[in-house]
Amino acid sequence: MAIADGLTTGCADLQASGGIQTVFIRKWNSTGSPDQIVVSSVNKITSIADSGGSTSTWGVYETKLQTPALSVSGTSVGNANTYECSLTFNLPQLDLQRRTALADLEGECLQVMMLDTNSNYWVIGISDTLTGGDGGLDLPVASHIGTRPQTFARLGSVEGVTGAAFSDENGMTITLTCTQYEFPRIYEPTGAAVSINAAGKVATVS
Amino acid sequence: MAIDKGIAISCADLQQIGGIKHILLRDWTAGDIIVYDNADDHAISSIKKAGPANADWFLYEFKSQEANMSVNATKENGSTAFECGLSFMLPQMETKKFAELQNMLTDCMMAIAVDNNNHAFVLGVSEKYANESVAERSQTFLNVGTMEGGTGSAFDDTNGITVNLTCTQYELPREYTGTIAYYTDATPSTTFAATTT
């Protein structure tokens, strides 16, 4: 892609706010069949769907306010641009429910989406550059090999604390990591917008 | 052949990316038809088997960034030998992978290694010092050189096997300039078949 024009920085850009509102997580190929990912040439993901369908199901993870943060560190060598991405969030109060939720993430190849406080959906674990296996040959349609990119997100680290004093923090901090070879893409659906069910724990993404 | 041109290095050349992204393997089969392109390139423009207008290949996936092609030349008198290697790592040892590797042990193969700059290099198919009357009996084929693997011992050790395929040719590997069609069996692919024409 050539450099065709520059960038403007407007008032709204300067009024950007920090933080993540909502974290969405699902497993690659969670139905046992190839996921169907549609990426656009302008660095977006426009559809994430189960095999043969038009939508996918995600877990919605509520977190302690102002704890989730996405960080992206990129390095460029030749034309290999490596982006170490990590999403950290805190789940307050150690309990069985959270411990089980953590176990569900262990050893899994994950897709992670997060809604920032500027209403952008960022995605890590789904990319279309040097994805390994087939080099992203078929990711856009996912009909053959899009289930096996090696640039998935995964559980990186967990830190759980009860604290000691009554006023100490009790909870766990989870870090999901991903090495990809392009900056995380923004999800902007061509279909229906992201919808979260009444219980607030399951999202449907088109 | 005399030196007839120089070589320019562009910005894109300097921005190259290391590594292999696709490995395709097939056995030499009776009636294979190879078209060498020496006009202005060191290339192979067509690889077909007898009968149909294509040749069947199979795609071998591997752990990302753990595959490479190597070329080492030594010249002695007027003969230059190129020891070419193709190495790739298969994570997690198990029966399906071993079955395919077992099939390779006695096979005379050819490979196409597509690098991350989209150059497809052919190993095990060469023209120089071809002492056979038909292509299928080429003696510069690719074959299994070594395998090295293990389970590791610690929980976070690597479990897998690295396969090293080798061939000795008497010319540099040629670039395949024809068309590769991937996943020609079905959707989704189950055999990871591909074809060249």
Nearest CA in chain A to B23: A134
Chain B touched by A138 (CB under 8 Å): yes
- Whether residues A135 and B65 touch (CB distance < 8 A) is answered with no
Element (H, E) at A13: helix A11-14
Beta bridge partners of A57: A204
Is residue A68 within 8 Å of residue A19, measured between CB atoms? Answer: yes
In a domain, A205, yes or no: no
Instruction: Mark yes or no for CB contact A135/B18 under 8 Å.
Output: no
The answer to the question of residue A3 being in a domain is no
Q: Which of A75, A77, A79, A81 to mutate to test the interface with B (most CBs of B within 10 A)?
A: A79
Query: Is residue B69 within 8 Å of B84, Cβ to Cβ?
Result: yes
Best of B9, B14, B17, B119 to substitute, by most chain A Cβ atoms within 10 angstroms, is B17
- Considering A45-54, A84-93, B47-56, the range whose residues carry the highest mean pLDDT is A84-93
Of A110, A127, A28, nearest to A61 by C-alpha is A110
- Beta-strand pair B43-48/B174-176: parallel
Q: Which of A92-96, A145-149, B107-111, B133-137 has the lowest mean pLDDT?
A: A145-149
Domain assignment present for residue A5? The answer is no
Q: Which residues of B touch A144 (CB under 8 A)?
A: 182-183, 187-189
Query: Alpha helix (H) ranges present in A57-124?
Result: 96-105
Find chain A residues with C-beta within 8 A of B183's C-beta: 138, 143-145
CA of A33: which chain B residue's CA is closest? B188
Residues B20 and B118: their CA atoms lie apart, in Å, by: 9
Interchain contact B187–A (C-beta under 8 A): yes
Instruction: Retrieve residue A18's tokens.
Output: 């920090």
Q: Establish if A206 belongs to a structural domain.
A: no
Task: Establish if A59 belongs to a structural domain.
Answer: yes
What residue numbers bound the domain in which A182 lies? 26-83+93-199
Confidence bin at A102 (pLDDT 50/70/90)? very high
ipTM above 0.90, yes or no: no
Q: Do B189 and A145 touch (CB under 8 A)?
A: yes
Q: Which residues contact A56 (CB under 8 A, 6 or more apart)?
A: A26, A30, A35, A48, A49, A50, A204, A205
Residue A183 lies in a domain: yes
**Cα separation values, B42 from A137, A156, B176, Å:** 26, 46, 9
> In this structure, are residues B74 and B160 in contact, taking their beta carbons and an 8 Å threshold?
no
Chain mean pLDDT for chain A: 91
The tokens for A81 are: 């641009």
Is B187's CB within 8 Å of A144's CB? yes
- Between the CA of residue B69 and those of A98, A148, B73, B81, B84, what are the distances in Å? 47, 23, 13, 16, 7
pLDDT for position A145: 56
What is the distance between the alpha carbons of residues A40 and B176, in angstroms, rounded to a whole number?
Answer: 29
Cβ B182–A148 below 8 Å, yes or no? no
Q: Residues with Cβ < 8 Å from B140, sequence gap 6 or more?
A: B124, B125, B126, B129, B130, B167, B168, B169, B170
Position A31 scores a pLDDT of 82
Rounded Cα–Cα distance for residues A130 and A136 (Å): 6
A residues 78..137 contacting B (CB < 8 A): 78-80, 130-135, 137
Going by C-alpha positions, the residue among B114, B103, B112 that lies closest to residue B144 is B103
Check A132 against B59: CB less than 8 A apart: no
Alpha carbon of A121: minimum distance to chain B alpha carbons (Å) = 27
Inter-chain residue contact B188 with A134, CB threshold 8 Å: no
Q: Any residues with CB less than 8 A from the CB of B108 and at least 6 apart, and which?
A: B27, B28, B124, B138, B141, B142, B143
The answer to whether residue A126 sits within a structural domain is yes
Residue B45: strand, helix, or coil = strand
Position A143 pLDDT exceeds 60: no
For residue A140, being part of any structural domain is answered with: yes
Q: Which among A80, A143, A145 has CB closest to B18?
A: A80
φ/ψ of residue A28, rounded to 5: -60, 135
**Chunked in runs of 10, what are the mean pLDDT values of chain B (197 residues)?**
88 91 94 93 95 92 94 96 97 95 95 95 92 81 97 95 97 97 82 92
Taking alpha carbons only, the member of B171, B159, B163, B118 closest to residue B145 is B163
Closest CB to B183 among A131, A144, A151 = A144
Is beta strand B55-60 parallel, antiparallel or unpaired with respect to B20-27? antiparallel
Position B188 scores a pLDDT of 73
pLDDT at A134: 67
Contacts of A82 in chain B (CB under 8 A): none
The set of residues, in sequence order, having a beta carbon less than 8 Å from that of A93 and lying 6+ positions away, is A170, A171
Q: Which of A59, A83, A56 is nearest to A189 (CA)?
A: A56
- Residue B15 is nearest to which of A79, A135, A148, comparing CB atoms? A79
A73, amino acid identity: S
CB-based contact A79 B63, cutoff 8 Å: no
Q: What confidence score (pLDDT) does residue A51 get? A: 81
DSSP state of B17: -
Closest CA relative to residue A151, chosen from A112, A187, A115, A206: A112
Q: A129, A130, A155, A182: which to substitute to probe chain B, counting the most B Cβ within 10 Å?
A: A130
Chains A, B: CB contacts within 8 A come to 56
Using alpha carbons only, give the angle B178, B179, B185 rounded to the nearest 5 degrees: 140
Cβ distance B17 to A130 less than 8 Å, yes or no, reads: yes
Q: Are B59 and B192 in contact (CB under 8 A)?
A: yes
CB atoms < 10 A from the CB of A2, how many?
Answer: 4
Query: With bands split at pLDDT 50, 70 and 90, how would you rate the model's confidence at A140?
Result: low
> What does R_g of chain A's alpha carbons equal in angstroms?
18
Nearest chain A residue to B115 by CA distance is A135
Q: How much is the pLDDT for B174?
A: 98
Question: How many structural domains compose chain A?
Answer: 1
